[in-house]
Amino acid sequence: MSSFAPRVFSGIKPSGDLHLGNYLGAIKRFVPLQETHACIYCVVDLHAITVWQDPQDLEKATHEVAAAYLAAGVDPEKHIIFNQSQVHQHAELAWIFNCVARMGWMQRMTQFKDKAGKNSQNVSLGLFAYPSLMAADILLYKATHVPVGEDQKQHLELTRDIAQKFNNDFAASISRNHLDGDFFPLSEPVITGPATRVLSLRDGTRKMSKSEASDMATIYMLDDADSIARKIRKAKSDPEPLPSEVAGLKGRLEAANLVGIYAALADISQQEVLDQFGGKGFGTFKPALAELAVDRLAPIAMEMRRYLAEPDMIEKILKEGADRARVMAEDTMKQVRKIVGFIS
């Protein structure tokens, strides 16, 4: 058994309008991992174009994700921030993985089924191959830990299946080339914290997203203090007071969502939120949550705007990050090309 250095990789699609789900489910959790791991945080623009993106909007959205990483506290000097398309090795390894992954595995992906819906004959081939590119992102850097939201768990399982099949299929070649028996690691998702799945503020059966019908359903990372507070005060809840135990949130989707958001923003557990607010109604809880959210989110929005006002600086950071990522990626690809039998 080989051992792999602890390394974190994660990515966010630049498809416009980052929201609280992106922040609590991903970006906020990227920050503390920097203390213990070498981290690579990617703006996955190749993934974004699996559905149509207006080119000018894509540029803007790429800046926005990079600005969010920076504003939240990712350190681009100690760690790496870059956009995926600047490191061609992602696309190259994804192609090889397209030849490792099986149709049946891909057809089981629930995110694809949800996104394609009844339209499955008319979505891009890229959307179908999406998880294979994601596996390439992670395995190019032999990342051991991948902080993601709950919804990405199945893609991580597929990533491990691809790694394992590659290690097996090419076992003889791997050893002929004097490389480790386990060439690729079996990367683990890191799905922790009270808000790995943030729900719509208007409908507790749906994920928070930028495509909600009502603008009041989604808190955007660039929202100003007034909008944040208004959306929370108007959020759907129920007439019951909050329970004093987490178990009491069962079946109360909207209440559980708001408690989860509070816990994640305050860096405490849901139980600690209920220790404080159990027995109190939403008339008390919502204003407290609104105040907390404004307190935690408004400064980040301000910092994001400061970065967004300097796109040249953002692009310089992305380019420097890409230069460093490329060295690591090429190191892996040199070996992969040999293992597969490509002459170079």
* Residues classed as catalytic: 115, 207, 210
CA-based end-to-end distance of the chain: 29
- Please tell me the distance from the alpha carbon of residue 164 to that of residue 101, in angstroms, as a whole number: 10
CB 302 to ligand TRP: min, Å: 25
Backbone phi, psi, residue 45, to 5°: -70, -30
Site for ligand TRP (CB under 6 A): which residue of 45, 64, 137, 223?
Answer: 137
The count of chain residues that interact with ligand TRP, using the rule CB under 6 A, is 13
Task: State yes or no: residue 68 binds ligand TRP (CB under 6 A).
Answer: no
> Of the two residues 11 and 204, which places its CB atom closer to ligand TRP in the complex?
11
> Of the two residues 116 and 225, which places its CB atom closer to ligand TRP in the complex?
116
Interface stretch with ligand TRP, choices 8-16, 168-176, 177-185, 307-315 (CB under 6 A): 8-16
Site for ligand TRP (CB under 6 A): which residue of 7, 8, 13, 301?
Answer: 13
CB 131 to ligand TRP: min, Å: 8
CB 29 to ligand TRP: min, Å: 12
Site for ligand TRP (CB under 6 A): which residue of 40, 67, 71, 138?
Answer: 138
Beta-carbon contacts of 263 under 8 Å, excluding residues fewer than 6 positions away, are 194, 195, 269, 270, 272, 273
Site for ligand TRP (CB under 6 A): which residue of 24, 58, 74, 146?
Answer: 146
Interface stretch with ligand TRP, choices 4-12, 195-203, 266-274, 316-324 (CB under 6 A): 4-12
Within 73-198, where are the H helices? 89-98, 103-107, 110-116, 125-140, 153-169, 171-176
- The residue behind tokens 């989707």 is 253
Site for ligand TRP (CB under 6 A): which residue of 33, 40, 100, 134?
Answer: 134
CB count within 10 Å of CB 123 equals 15
Q: Are 261 and 197 in contact (CB under 8 A)?
A: no
**Residue 65 CA: distances (Å) to CA of 81, 194, 217, 250:** 10, 23, 21, 34
User: Is 162 buried (19+), middle (13-18) or exposed (0-12) by CB count in 10 A?
Assistant: buried
- Please tell me the distance from the alpha carbon of residue 161 to that of residue 142, in angstroms, as a whole number: 14
At 40, which helix (H) or strand (E)?
Answer: strand 38-43
Can you give the three-state secondary structure of 255-266, one letter per residue? Answer: HHHHHHHHHHHH
Site for ligand TRP (CB under 6 A): which residue of 93, 139, 148, 229?
Answer: 148
Residue 45-64 contact track with ligand TRP, rule CB under 6 A, x = bound: --x-----------------
CB-nearest residue to ligand TRP: 11
Task: State yes or no: residue 28 binds ligand TRP (CB under 6 A).
Answer: no
Task: State yes or no: residue 87 binds ligand TRP (CB under 6 A).
Answer: no
> Of the two residues 136 and 229, which places its CB atom closer to ligand TRP in the complex?
136
Task: State yes or no: residue 332 binds ligand TRP (CB under 6 A).
Answer: no
Task: State yes or no: residue 189 binds ligand TRP (CB under 6 A).
Answer: no
